[in-house]
Structure 1
Amino acid sequence: MKAWFKSGSPWIWLNGGAVAFCMIMVVGLIGLIAVRGFGHFWPADIVKVEITQPDGSRQVVMGEIVRPQTITAAVARDGGRTDIPEGMDLITRYLLKQGNKDQTSNDFAWYFELGMGEFQYPKDAYQIERREWGNFYGQPVALVRSGEVIARPAETNFWSTLQESINRSLALHKEIRGIEKGEIGQMNAQIERLRLDLRRLELRNPSAQERAQEEERIAAERARLDAEYAILRVELDKLYESTRRDTLVMRMSDDREVNISLATIVRVTAPNSMSVFGKAGQYIERLWEFLTDVPREANTEGGIFPAIFGTVTMVFVMSIMVTPFGILAAIYLREYAKQNMMTRIIRISVYNLAGVPSIVYGVFGLGFFVYFLGGSIDKLLYEAALPTPTFGTPGLFWASLTLALLTLPIVIVSTEEGLARIPSTIRQGSLALGATKSETLWKVIVPLATPAMMTGLILAIARAAGEVAPLMLVGVVKLAPTLPVDATFPFIHLDRKIMHLGFHIYDVGFQSPSAEAARPLVYATALVLVLLIVILNLTAISIRNRLRERYRSASD
């Protein structure tokens, strides 16, 4: 045994076991998040059950079974359940997503198994996803068009007629959104520019002739925009009127009939009558919608595309700013600065900056970048827009700059260590061959240190993509469906506020009006954030490895 310990084999097994344990924990964590998050998009069967209440009344409920839970009878009695037998110690209850929040004001409810009848799964039970008020669960009665019934569930063409009407309504909704965000959005931007032109004219105090000419131009341009808007307004009114043509009549579990306009419907499914392949197709469709659509219903429905786009854009802008400054600072500290007391103090300060809490950077960014620099830029370049701030308010640029400042020490330290690992013989050989110090630095040393620079950038991306606290102060908001990149000049709007996956997780998890509806979205968004960080890191690692092989082969 003593010889075995001296051989070092136990430490090899110990290290291998520790690595395996860590890998199991990471894979288990990601698997848990994936199951809890992405499992939400699988179409669940709709159950209909009759429940006998303690007072003898009967209630029929319909919805999805979210999860069962076993609790003690004492807890149930404390909650007001009085009909539990004395000999019963444990009792099961079910959380049902019954939807219909506009009719019942409670889309999730707990029901005890005691007094619950047999679960039924009616084939004609529909799940209706709506743009407002969440899901609706019920059974169809009729499809009405302009006040007349055109199809009933007993007819063989009812489902196809319903889907055709829904597809028509979705196409109209898409056309409306395209006009409102595209043409009308550009008109609003042009009207705002005309308003600013008039304000600049007042600030310049020009001659009477120049003022008259400019006011005439602005008035003519505004009249043209008003005429174009009137035409679009008539077209929009016709489209809105057309969307209100069809209505779906549904029967709730308590036999009440509700009229649902197809203009408010996103999707209608009948999961109880769907095959496995049908559910798989529906799962892919819902997952794709989650990744590419905008959020709705206080971020508990819809997608997270603005948050994904905002996170990626912010990381790219941050990388563009932090990389040159961090690399130049490291080159100066290692290659040019005298190694005296001042240099050591600067280096220690850089190391200490890496340990400063991120919220401190957020406060600094809000005070210095937003209020001081942004306010100064507004006074200098955007005086006509005041008192409405342009850069004197949190936005994408200040969020990226704050994260660049936060990750700057990481890039400096990694680059400086990479420069320090290059043997001095390479420098001496380059100088001996007649190269200047500048040529040696930029053509020999810096290319060899490129992998270390990329390592610093990888670490910076990993930290920046997951930060939340400073972003809450310098540019990230709960809802910003308008992307910072569009077709309006100057196309990239660094002054706009953005959404972020990390803040989206915080908002959905802690600020949502419905905790049960938000729970699966927290897991799904967290998994998307983890995968996004992995993709960004793998991309940077791939670039680093290619550079390493390139300069290694060049040095050979």
Structure 2
Amino acid sequence: MTALQQNDRWRWLTAGAVTVCLLAFALLTGLLAWQGMRAFWPQPVDLYQLRQPDGTTQVLLGETVETTRLSANGQDADGSVTRYLLKTGNRDVAAPDFRVILSRDALTVTQPPEVMVVQRRSGGNALGWFVELRQDNETLTAQNIAALLQQRLEKVHTLLRQASAIRHTDMARVNNQLRALETQAEAQRSANAFTPQTQSEYQANRAALQRRFSELSTRLAALQQESVRDALILRDVQGRERSIPLAQIVDAWHPNAMSFSQKWHHFLHQVWHFVSDSPAAGPSEKGAFPAIFGTVLMVLLMSVLVMPLGVIAAVWLHEYAGRHALTRLVRIAVVNLAGVPSIVYGVFGLGFFVWLVGGTLDQLFFARTLPSPTFGTPGLLWAALTLALLTLPVVIVATEEGLSRIPDSLRQGSLALGATKAETLWHVVLPMALPAMLTGLILAVARAAGETAPLMLVGVVKMVPELPVDAVFPYLHLDRKFMHLGFQIYDLAFQSPNIEADRPLVYATALLLVLIILSLNLVAMGLRHRLRERYRIMTQ
């Protein structure tokens, strides 16, 4: 067998392995997309009339989410039957959400076009028939009541956004200014510099801030009162009428009467709502923006922290340390660190970064706020540092391999032209090793973005009142806790009180996490390709 034939076999084997990996990734992404995206498509609502054992008739209204053909057995001697899994909605008054129906018990199954689905901010969807729209307990009339409902919903959503902006931006800024004013006054008192003139200025500024806060509070109360004036009256399948405030409604639609184009418009709107909105009080509320923002911000902050440390360590090992027992010991330690379970890094981050470093910072710089911790509690900074430590061995190994592939003739040529070793390293070696550094960054991002176990100890929570970034100085708040897509997947899959209803959201959130990791890696791979082409001629 010739060497060319052996090379062909290895080439085909490599191509086959790559094809299998790409096919597996495509199948995984397709499965996540199919299972997750169907939650946003408007499903038809079925009206079942069921035969009861006592001869009476029961009526159920819901979405048929699963149909299973059951084979005949001893109990079903007449033949096979069909089992329907029905999602009834109206969880707050007609729990549980899901009912199992057998085809032999269903007298009739219809799809009334007048049925309305109301997506609420908490409590799941409400199903029923639209009765009327009220404002301050007075019935609103219009020729096109559906258009009026959408108009009122948009107005209420605008009021809620304005109220949220006042609460999380304007009032937060005033509170921050009040804290800064109190801190300044306390420092002046400690330094015996709190003169009558200073005290007068302090009281005037404090009164102005309190007056501004009172004005914002009054405006916020007015917006909240305005947002709860409108209500939708919905009649359920049992004939009971219920009042649902428009402030609790995200959207409302008639799925059985929608055309295909209307369904597509509704689908895109629901996907955008899921990506851009925040979850409300209930765990089933759709909205993943805080988790997306927290995941991307943590990965970017981790990358900023791990790349300088990894590159410096790799440069020291390859360019300066030489070959002796210490470098061999360091390389063994780096390899062993790469195999340490991630939960161990979480425990280390909690003990070292949070309790030791964070507690020390609180005692030195935030003693006035103790015993309430500032940095001595899990937060974004400690999560990023923990993941930077976890991915550090990957960056070190990839960077050192890139440094080893640079010909020594380039270093010697630079030194022969009069450049120092540091100048050679900065202007020749490191630019040519950038593709290898980006390879380490790609591997680090892929691992860090999917980690969940260590983050549960050092900063990730189920729900946050505000994002780590806002309009209040210093704008990026490293001490705040944050949400993460990986933890949201875990919470929806294992901690949700209604797992069956939240299962599509698990797939949708997993798809989001895969797409975010893929996007970050594609950006780094594109940059690596450009740098590799740029310095290829120099290495030939």
When normalised by structure 1's length, the TM-score is: 0.91
8 A Cα contact 1:196 1:385, kept in partner: no
Superposed displacement of residue 305, structure 1 = 0.7
Within-5 A mapping of 1:228-239: 228-239=212-223
1:492 to 451, 476, 487: 476
Matched, 1:173 2:153: no
Q: Given the superposition, is the C-alpha separation of residues 552 and 10 from structure 1 closer, same or farther in structure 2, using an over 3 Å criterion?
A: closer
Say which SS state the counterpart of residue 506 (structure 2) adopts.
helix
Question: 1:104 — aligned with what?
Answer: 94
In the other structure, the counterpart of 2:50 is 51
Unpaired stretches in structure 1, ≥5 consecutive residues = 75-83
Larger displacement relative to structure 2 (454-463 or 431-440): 431-440
Higher deviation after alignment, 375-384 or 85-94: 85-94
Which of 364, 378, 383 is equivalent to 2:362?
A: 378
Query: Which ranges in structure 2 are unaligned for 5 or more consecutive residues?
Result: none
Partner SS, residue 108 of structure 2 = coil
1:453 to 425, 433, 437: 437
Counterpart pick for 2:126 among 136, 151, 160 = 136
- Aligned counterparts, 1:506-525, within 5 A: 506-525=490-509
Task: Report the aligned-residue RMSD.
Answer: 2.4
The answer to whether the 8 A contact 2:277-2:289 is kept is yes
1:388 corresponds, among 372, 386, 392, to 372
Deviations along 1:331-361, whole A, 9 cap, x unmatched? 1111111311111111111111111111111
Equivalent residue in structure 2 for 1:191, among 175, 178, 186: 178
User: Are 1:294 and 1:304, in contact at CA under 8 Å, matched by a contact in 2?
Assistant: yes
1:369 alignment partner in structure 2: 353
> Which residue number corresponds to residue 34 of structure 2?
35
Work out whether residues 169 and 472 of structure 2, in 8 Å CA contact, stay in contact via their aligned partners in 1.
Answer: no
Checking the alignment, whether the CA contact within 8 Å between 1:126 and 1:269 is kept in structure 2 is yes
SS of 1:118's equivalent in the other structure is strand
Q: Is 1:93 the equivalent of 2:83?
A: yes
- The aligned amino acid for 1:175 is Q
- Deviations along 1:56-90, whole A, 9 cap, x unmatched? 2321111211112345677xxxxxxxxx9551565
- Are residue 304 (structure 1) and residue 288 (structure 2) matched? yes
1:126 aligns with 2:140: no
Q: Structure 1 stretch 220-229 or stretch 256-265: which is displaced more? A: 220-229
Kept in 1, the 8 Å contact 2:47–2:61? The answer is yes
Deviations 1:372-398 (A, max 9, x none): 111111111111111111111111111
Range with greater deviation from structure 2 (389-398 or 21-30)? 21-30
Contact 2:121 2:282 (8 Å CA) reproduced? no
Distance 2:14 2:314 in 1: 34
Output the amino acid matched with 2:58.
Answer: Q
Distance change (3 Å), C-alpha of 1:55 and 1:488: same
CA distance in 1, matches of 2:197, 2:459: 40
AA partner of residue 148 (structure 1): E
- Deviation, 1:24, is 2.1
1:432 matched to 2:413? no
Match for 1:299: what amino acid? P
SS in 1 for 2:104: coil
Following superposition, the deviation at residue 185 of structure 1 comes to 2.2
Q: Distance in 2 between matches of 1:451 and 1:8?
A: 26
> Which whole-Å CA distance do the structure 2 matches of 1:14 and 1:419 have between them?
29
Alignment partner, residue 386 of structure 2: 402
Alpha-carbon distance, 1:259 to partner: 1.5
Letter in 1 for 2:232: L
| CA deviations over 1:165-192 (Å, ceiling 9, x no partner) | 2222222222222222222222233333
Is the Cα–Cα contact under 8 Å of residues 100 and 107 in structure 1 kept in the other structure?
A: yes
Structure 1 partner of 2:150: 163
Structure 2 counterpart of 1:190, one-letter code: Q
Aligned partners of 1:191, 1:282: CA distance in 2, in Å?
A: 45
In the alignment, the residues of structure 1 paired with residue 72 and residue 174 of structure 2 have an alpha-carbon distance, to the nearest angstrom, of: 64
Instruction: Report % sequence identity.
Output: 48
Q: CA deviation at 1:555?
A: 5.9
For 1:6 and 1:403, the matched residues in 2 are separated by 45
User: For residues 388 and 127 of structure 1, what CA distance do their matches in structure 2 show?
Assistant: 45
Q: Is contact 1:126–1:268 with CA below 8 Å preserved after alignment?
A: yes
Q: Normalising by structure 2, what TM-score? A: 0.94
Instruction: Find out whether 1:147 has 2:150 as its counterpart.
Output: no
**Deviates most, 304-313 or 111-120:** 111-120
State the shift of 1:414 in Å.
0.8
**Cα distance change of structure 1 residues 235 and 430 upon mapping to structure 2, 3 Å threshold:** closer
Corresponding position of 1:79: none
- For the residue of structure 1 that corresponds to 2:438, the secondary structure is helix
**Which structure 2 residues correspond to residues 308-327 of structure 1 after superposition, within 5 A?**
308-327=292-311
SS of corresponding position for 2:86: strand
Classify 1:239/1:424 alpha carbon distance in 2 versus 1 (closer, same or farther; 3 Å).
closer
The alpha-carbon distance between structure 1 residues 438 and 146, as it changes in their structure 2 partners (threshold 3 A), is closer
Q: CA deviation at 1:103?
A: 1.6
Question: Which amino acid counterpart does residue 22 of structure 2 have in structure 1?
Answer: M
* Residues in 2 aligned to 1:195 and 1:92: alpha-carbon distance in whole angstroms: 70
Summarize deviations over 1:28-65 as a string: whole Å, max 9, x none.
11101110011211111111111122232321111211
- Residue-by-residue CA offset, 1:284-327 (whole Å, 9 max, x unaligned): 11101111110124432221111111111111111111111111
Please say if residues 196 and 384 of structure 1, whose CA atoms lie closer than 8 Å, have aligned partners that are also in contact: no
What amino acid is the match of 2:157?
L
Note the alpha carbon deviations across 1:193-225, whole angstroms, 9 max, x for none: 3454565567x3x43x72766655444333323
Which residue type is aligned with residue 245 of structure 1? R
Q: Read off the aligned partner of 1:488 and give its amino acid letter.
A: V
Distance 1:167 1:454 in 2: 45
Distance 1:100 1:331, change over 3 A: same
Distance 1:329 1:18, change over 3 A: closer
One-letter code of the match for 1:125?
Answer: V
Contact 2:113-2:256 within 8 A present in 1 as well: yes
Alignment of 1:404-419 (within 5 A): 404-419=388-403
- Count of residue pairs brought into register by the alignment: 540
**Distance in 1 of aligned mates of 2:516 and 2:94:** 39
* Kept after mapping to 1: 8 A contact 2:122/2:285: no
Q: Which residue of 1 aligns with 2:425?
A: 441
